[in-house]
Amino acid sequence: MVYTMLLYLALVVFGIGLLFKVAGWFRFNIGIYDPSLTVSVRIRAAIQGILSVIFSPKLATLIKVLVADVLFQNHLRRQDTLRWVMHMLIFAGFTFLFFMHALDKIIITSLFEKYYLALNPFLLVSGSMVLAGIAIAAYRRFILKVPRLKTNAMDAYVLIILAVILISGIAMELTKLSSYEHYQIFWDIHFLACMVGLAYLPFSKFLHVFTTPLSLLANAVMDANSHPANVKTRQIMELDACLHCTNCSKRCSVAAASDIIGNSNILPSERIAVLKEYVAYKEIGARGFAALQEGISLCTNCDRCTVICPAGINLRDLWFNAREEVLQREHAAPLVLTPFSFYRGLKRQEMTSDQYKQPLSNAVKDLTAPFERFSTGEVVPLGPQNSEFKKTAVLSGGTVTYAYCFTCENCSTVCPVVGNYEAPQQALDLLPHQIIRSLGFGLKDAALGARMLWYCLTCYQCQEHCPQGVKVTDIFYELKNLAVVEANQSSAQNGSESAAR
Amino acid sequence: MKFALFIGCNIPVRVPQYELSARTVLARLGIEIEDNPEFKCCGNPIRNIDQNTFLLMAARNLALAEKQGLDLMVLCMCCFGSLKKAAHVMRQLPSIREEMNGLLAKEGLHYSGKFAVKHLLSVLHHDLGIDALKEKCTKPFKTLKMATHYGCHALRPSDVTEFDNPVAPSIFDDLVTATGAKSVEWPLKLECCGAPLLGVNDDLSVELTRKKFADGRRAGGEYLCVACPYCHMQFDKVRQIMVSGQDTAPRMDSIVYPQLLGLAMGLERDALGMTLDIKEEVVAEPPAKPKKTAGRTKASATDVQPQE
Ligand code: SF4
Ligand code: SF4
Ligand code: SF4
Ligand code: SF4
């Protein structure tokens, strides 16, 4: 009786959880918000999409992917044999256990009247298979310390629940004949663990048993012509398809940046978890948001993660849409003013001109705020000399050369950016030689705040042509670095002020 | 002759014809390359934000090549400039090198600076030599005029990149001339393509590229010749922007150097990725048979081919 109630309870939690998840796929938004894509439009589009695939030649593709990638995980085998072995052991063992053991009353007994084995060898074999798979997973996560492979609480829970189910199950089988008491204890543990697993499934990465195949199948049949509503729905669903295998982070082009910047959102596998909370309207806080924005912006769009993801998640499009979403929501991180934005520039026709330009102009405004302070006085105050500042601006070799400048203006004369404007000072605030001189005078706000810094091509013409050997472009790089530090500090200050209020 | 090949982030996804043609040409020239899937971003894009992060990302790649025991051959000029800069800083400031090595130790890597960093063009020019190259060009161009685009980050700062004479460079011109094509003189030859500002200040970026197009055309160039994915993508993108904005100012197609070389060597067009090139003419109509039809005003890069 108690067991039956527990089973129903677990099933109810499971059912509600699943419904809740699926509803989220249609409710939540990612990327630039489109009010015409309401929940009902998205549900209808999904049904239409699915039907039109089933009754079309694409069905063959679907079946092919189902067999090759979902069942046999061909893409995984090509990438990483150990992980493939791990997956197949758990997958095959579990499938067998599920149908032959968990559902034995329904399936087996109806097939074979006298189905009873004192010591069921099949169960032991498949149980051991799953156990071996779990052992490999634990070995990878806890012993084989792959650099930056992160293990989160959910990874650990999932492994623990699985291990408890398996170990208690095997112990139960072994004690079946010898000791009824022990058998009963193991049975209870086994049953409880199964129920916990079942109830936890929709909320954990266990869910990938449904979502990963869905993602693989959806991506196999969807293309550029797919309904935009379906693309949104798929992208939300894909967030649930991630199994936190961290493969993407291992291959990620910019992973090493996280060693210094210390923001785990730089790693795609970690970012996806935060993104999932973010799209579900969970509170991630101003700091969490800034970290997410930095993580998404610090991406070279190299596609390596997309190629490697075993769940077939189209990370390329996910990052693009997520980047737009977080850039439109709040002032953008300084990262948008770097070549990391090149890809966004290539895709600029996919948004309106306002959507495209707003984050950029906001970022420039934030970073050049000091210059506003500097230039509002009618007479430009010469000094006071900020010798502290001059000292901070010598991060690496060569930067001290600003002191040799004799204001010949060569740098500004050869600069293609300066040359592009009729009235360069209006567009750029200061010309290159003026920035170098500001640095010499210790005029911090001027040196750090001029738009020229951010509109510099880093073409090194100025540096190459300086008769005094001033490392103009390198100095600009360092001034930009300092301006970023300053801007971050002042936004952190503003953040804590507004939090205090 | 053997190198570790550094492709960078952009080439495999956005300029695959560069990688394909480079591999084909190098194999034919007997230059061996070894891939290393562990190579990651060179660090260039983060230089605006944080110098140390940039240095670590670059140093990691340098250390990986050192582990392979090979000199690096780089295809992208921005990657090249970035790796050279990091090597230079770490040579000048041992304290920074030690700091980086401390961080690299976590991955079992170490950088001491024993191996060189070279751009593809330097390898072809210095390690292989123009004469050897000319010999291989069995189907040299006869009348083709190219506007050779040097690219900033390989050329400057010259004390760091050690690529060529920064005010009067010649190696790219020599390489183009070796294919039989003429490398025209054009005033903006050494100017920036504009790519570093695409996505940051597009009006400025596009304007700089337009100027280069106009200048190259005025000098009689039929195509731009590049050896950097950023320059190539920039030229492609700005042409696209101009076409969709009905801007009638002169435009130019660009072609990556190994494709030009490969054609002069008589190699298969497919092996050079000629059809992978996104050209406006190709976008507008199916790729025409590589044959100059009379009355066709605008030449397309897919039409570049050795003239008998
Ligand atoms: S596309 Fe971005 S997140 Fe993905 S591997 Fe490349 S840099 Fe990392
Ligand atoms: S590779 Fe795919 S499934 Fe694995 S952690 Fe990354 S996004 Fe998730
Ligand atoms: S070229 Fe050199 S010396 Fe002349 S103004 Fe510029 S930085 Fe100063
Ligand atoms: S590096 Fe910047 S400041 Fe110097 S010439 Fe080029 S665009 Fe001008």
Q: Span B201-208, mean pLDDT?
A: 97
- Closest residue to B40, CB basis, from A255, A260, A464: A255
Cα separation, A313 vs A305, in Å, equals 9
Asked whether A134 lines ligand 3 (CB < 6 A), one says no
Amino acid identity at B79:
C
Asked whether A269 lines ligand 2 (CB < 6 A), one says yes
**Structural domain spans, chain B:** 2-119, 136-275
Sheet holding B71-74, edge to edge: B32-34, B2-6, B71-74, B117-119
Give tens-digit pLDDT for A55-80.
888 899 999 989 988 888 888 888 78
Fold of B2-119: Glutathione S-transferase Yfyf (Class Pi); Chain A, domain 2 (1.20.1050)
Query: Is some CB atom of chain B closer than 8 A to the CB atom of A146?
Result: no
Higher pLDDT, A10 or A100: A10
Distance A212 CA to ligand 2 centre (A): 10
Q: Do A260 and B52 touch (CB under 8 A)?
A: yes
Nearest to B82 by CA among A473, A266, A433: A473
pLDDT tier at A111, thresholds 50, 70, 90: low
A335 contacts on B by Cβ (under 8 Å): 49
Give tens-digit pLDDT for A18-47.
999 999 999 998 888 888 889 999 999 999
pLDDT tier at A493, thresholds 50, 70, 90: confident
Q: Is B36 helix (H, G, I), strand (E, B) or coil?
A: coil
**Structural domain spans, chain A:** 2-210, 247-368, 387-500
> From the CA of B40, how many Å to the nearest CA of chain A?
5
Residue A385 confidence (pLDDT): 53
- Closest residue to B201, CB basis, from A253, A397, A455: A455
Q: Which ligand is nearest to the CA of A462?
A: 4
- Closest residue to A480, CB basis, from B48, B205, B233: B48
The β-bridge relationship of strands B182-183 and B145-148 is parallel
Fold of A2-210: Fumarate Reductase Cytochrome B subunit (1.20.950)
A119-123, A126-130, A406-410, B86-90: range with lowest mean pLDDT: A119-123
CB A261 within 8 A of CB A270: no
pLDDT tier at A253, thresholds 50, 70, 90: very high
Distance A299 CA to ligand 1 centre (A): 5
Helix residue ranges, H only, chain B: 10-14, 16-29, 51-68, 77-92, 94-104, 120-122, 130-136, 152-155, 158-161, 171-178, 202-218, 229-244, 257-264, 280-284
CA distances from A413 to A433, A466, A499, B168 (A): 9, 10, 47, 19
Average pLDDT in chain A: 87
CA distances from B28 to A47, B36, B258 (A): 53, 21, 11
Cα separation, B226 vs B241, in Å, equals 20
Domain B136-275's class? alpha beta
Residue A102 confidence (pLDDT): 77
Q: Per-residue b/e over B92-128, b at no fewer than 16 CB within 10 Å? A: eeeebbebbbebbeeeebebeeebebbbbbbbbbeeb
pLDDT tier at B291, thresholds 50, 70, 90: very low
Nearest to A373 by CA among A475, A423, A444: A444
Asked whether A304 lines ligand 1 (CB < 6 A), one says yes
Tell the residue nearest (CA) to atom 4 of ligand 3: A408
Fold of A387-500: Fumarate Reductase Iron-sulfur Protein; Chain B, domain 2 (1.10.1060)
Give tens-digit pLDDT for B120-136.
999 999 999 999 999 99
Cα separation, B11 vs A106, in Å, equals 56
* DSSP H or E stretch at residue A375: helix A369-376
Residue A396 confidence (pLDDT): 53
Amino acid identity at A436:
I
Cα separation, B302 vs B286, in Å, equals 11
Strand partners, B147: B224
